[in-house]
A and B are shown apart, each in its own frame.
Chain A
Amino acid sequence: MVVIAAGFILLGARDSDQPAISIEQAARANGHHHPPTLGSGLYQYEHPGRRRFDPQQVFNPELPPPTPAPNGIREFTLVLEEDQLHEVAPGVKMPAWTFNRSVPGPVLRATEGDTIRVTLVNKGKLPHSIHFHGIHPAKMDGVFEIVPPGAQFTYEFVAAPFGIMPYHCHTMPTSQHIHNGLYGMMIIDPKQGRKPMRELAMMMSAFDLDRDGEADFYAWNGRAFQYADHPVALTRGEPIRMYVLNMFEERMVPHLHGNMYQLYPSGTSLQPSEYTDVKTLNIAERAVLEFQYDFPGFYMFQCHVSEHMEQGLMGWFNVVEPKALVAKKDVR
């Protein structure tokens, strides 16, 4: 009995000691733990080799500057294909449905009052369509204008109003067509134009790979962590306009580190409504953010829903000194 009692005391003592030691050890081992840092090497992508995005494949967020449309007509052709392998996260390729082989589809840009002509060429095996947000006749809404496999259809309407408009397939089951990648951003510039500055287009979306109703990866422009691997270079003091659109069925909260932005909800006004660093964009909501960085260095841009950030909706701005300034320093 004495032996047993002694043993129980011993066992009990060990049991209570062990977690305490391991917590301490864990704290020591991870005291220097970094939050998601610069991507490659430190976080996420070191191994296996295939996991990093090919820099050639990284979606360029920069927009072509607005130009006058020839004869006031903006023409686009969107070729729709199904089951195109799309890399949603380093090394993870899903069969996506694509406009012009990209997720999201290309940015369609026009000026208010232009005639927009979008020809949808359906190379898939299912019927598809394009539904544009904005103002247009009922017959151009993409709900009844379904394009059968092998056929094509030209949607035509006058661009109005100015702002950011999502476009996406609206064929049943719509959720499947959208979640498989059939969406994009349309930018309609005001007639008088906006103040010229460098522009970025950033689509926020997500991918549910196992169809369990919960996204497995969240992404800026269709790829989780692509700008974590390849930071977007900005120049100090340079004004930036970022077009942001949430194309997923959850709220998204674009947030810039070390900075604030002028917010133009939906891009439909020329007056900012708020000066802030976080704004919740609900489903299909969008905004124009204008900002500039006054200090050089790496700044994260992310979705402030921490789950979204941790599953890919983060990236980096690498703010560098203006070239002239660097050159001057070098001379000295």
Chain B
Amino acid sequence: MAESVAERQMEDLVAHDQTAAATSSVARRGSRAAIIASALLPVMLLAGILYLLVQRGTGLALAPPAPIERIEFERVELYPGEIRAHVINSGPESVTIAQVQVGWLNRASWEFTATPSATIPRLGRAVVRIPYPWVAGEPYEVVLLTANTLVFTHEIAIAAETPVAGGSTLGSLALLGVYVGVIPVFLGIGWLPFLRALPQRGYYFFLNLTLGLLVFLGVDALHEALENAALVPGPYQGIALILIGLSLSILLLYAISGRVKGREGSGGNGLLLAYTIALSIGLHNLGEGLAIGGAYALGEVATGTLLVLGFTLHNLTEGVAVVAPVVRSRFRWVHLLWLGLLAGLPTIAGTMAGALAYSALWSVLFLAVGAGAIIQVVIEITRHQIRESGTASLANAFNVAGFAAGLAVMYVTGLFVTV
């Protein structure tokens, strides 16, 4: 009985398929024009509706009761005797800056020039130069008033001269990058012989310590990206930038590592992982460098040595993270040099770029890309561990202790650098 029911159902299915096939062949025979028309019809209807909307309006009386204008400050620079504001019109209509005031205790109207024009089209930019005798270390407020009486304000927490692209400034910024990024990574790599001398458990302890470090770094980068996202001009959608940077960097790293794996076979996995970590930390350091340089440019870095010291200590662990996957494998020593440079050098580029042309947009993007890279690496290290020792070993006491130690190290050294 059961068999015959099944058979009948089978026959029905076959019949059904035949009908479907017949129908589709009819469709295939139908004119190609009809298919194209059916594809175009919704588009044409949409165009018609849009035309009507533009011609007749929405039918709702939505005329704004007050002018909708928005000016956002991208960057405010301070030069001797001059405040220079780079602004963008992020509103729906063009805006005219009619007056400028500078606040110290009180606001004062001030002369200004705006280039290319005081009238800024939508998404257009202008540079507003205010010949104001600001004094280092004082707080100021830059106030732009539009012809339609809207008021836009930017606060300068502590006035400090904006670094100019002179040799000495570039040099000291590069040096800052070296201290914050390059040296710590190589110091960390210097632990390789020690890591090699450790027994298996110790190695896993450090591998998980690396995981802890990376998770902390990733969360930290995301946190910073979210903070900076608030400073990104509205139309550029800071949060969307984070999403794009984060997901694309994860996918891109998988694509790259997949291709490299395919070429090398499974043998070079440890080294490949090391390079992936180095790249992701490099990306992270680029974002971090941008943030440091930007803070420096905005005069917000509490003067230096302790901060640099803190960052160095904080980033020491990045070197450990880079070499952790290759502790058990053999490779040419020159790889260590490349790994260190890959992880460390972007910091220099970041600090210089950040200080010379700070923009919240780029820092957000690079911080997000860095965070994505770190997430990818965390996943890869975990898989690497599973491959080498099986899932059972993942949650043992040494690993958990290592992970916790990683978080703790970052937290404690982070106390030095949290301004």
Is B133 within 8 A of A26, CB to CB? yes
- Residues from chain B with a CB closer than 8 A to the CB of A45 are 111
- Residues from chain A with a CB closer than 8 A to the CB of B172 are 10-11, 14
Is A11 within 8 A of B179, CB to CB? yes
Is B80 within 8 A of A19, CB to CB? no
| Interchain CA distance A43-B109 in the complex, whole Å | 9
A-B contact pairs, 16 of them (CB 8 A): A4-B179, A4-B183, A7-B178, A8-B179, A11-B305, A19-B136, A23-B135, A33-B81, A45-B111, A88-B149, A91-B96, A91-B98, A92-B98, A92-B145, A310-B106, A311-B101
- Is B107 close to A, CB under 8 A? yes
- Is A22 close to B, CB under 8 A? yes
* Chain B 139-152 per-residue mask, 1 if CB under 8 angstroms from chain A, else 0: 00000011111110
| Interchain CA distance A91-B114 in the complex, whole Å | 14
- Which residue of A16, A29, A46, A93 contacts B149 across the interface (Cβ within 8 Å)? A93
- Is A68 close to B, CB under 8 A? no
- Residues from chain A with a CB closer than 8 A to the CB of B105 are 307
- Chain B at the A interface: mostly helix, strand, loop or mixed? mixed
A-B Cβ contacts below 8 A, count: 133
Identity of the chain A residue whose Cβ is nearest the Cβ of B101 in the assembled complex: A311
- Residues from chain B with a CB closer than 8 A to the CB of A50 are 96, 98, 147
Is A91 within 8 A of B106, CB to CB? no
- Residues from chain A with a CB closer than 8 A to the CB of B309 are 8
- Is B108 close to A, CB under 8 A? yes
Identity of the chain B residue whose Cβ is nearest the Cβ of A215 in the assembled complex: B107
- Which residue of A12, A16, A26, A47 contacts B113 across the interface (Cβ within 8 Å)? A47
- Which residue of B110, B147, B312 contacts A91 across the interface (Cβ within 8 Å)? B147
- Is A330 close to B, CB under 8 A? no
- Which residue of B110, B118, B134, B151 contacts A216 across the interface (Cβ within 8 Å)? B151
| Interchain CA distance A43-B113 in the complex, whole Å | 11
- Is A90 close to B, CB under 8 A? yes
B interface residues, Cβ below 8 angstroms from A: 80-82, 96, 98-99, 101, 105-114, 117-119, 133-137, 145-151, 160-161, 168, 172, 175-176, 178-179, 183, 303-305, 308-309, 312
Interface residues of A in 1-39 (CB under 8 A from B): 4, 7-8, 10-12, 14-16, 18-19, 22-23, 25-26, 28-30, 33
Is A209 within 8 A of B98, CB to CB? no
- Is A115 close to B, CB under 8 A? no
Interface residues of A in 28-83 (CB under 8 A from B): 28-30, 33, 43-48, 50-51
Is A47 within 8 A of B98, CB to CB? no
Minimum C-beta distance from B380 to chain A (A): 32
* Chain A 308-331 per-residue mask, 1 if CB under 8 angstroms from chain B, else 0: 001110000000000000000000
| Interchain CA distance A45-B113 in the complex, whole Å | 10
- Residues from chain A with a CB closer than 8 A to the CB of B151 are 209-210, 212, 216
| Interchain CA distance A89-B100 in the complex, whole Å | 11
Known: A19-B137, A30-B133. 11 other contacts (CB 8 A): A8-B305, A16-B303, A19-B161, A46-B111, A50-B98, A89-B98, A92-B146, A93-B149, A209-B145, A209-B150, A217-B109
Leading 9 A-B pairs by shortest Cβ distance: A91-B98, A310-B108, A307-B106, A29-B81, A30-B133, A22-B161, A25-B80, A209-B149, A48-B118
- Residues from chain B with a CB closer than 8 A to the CB of A18 are 160-161
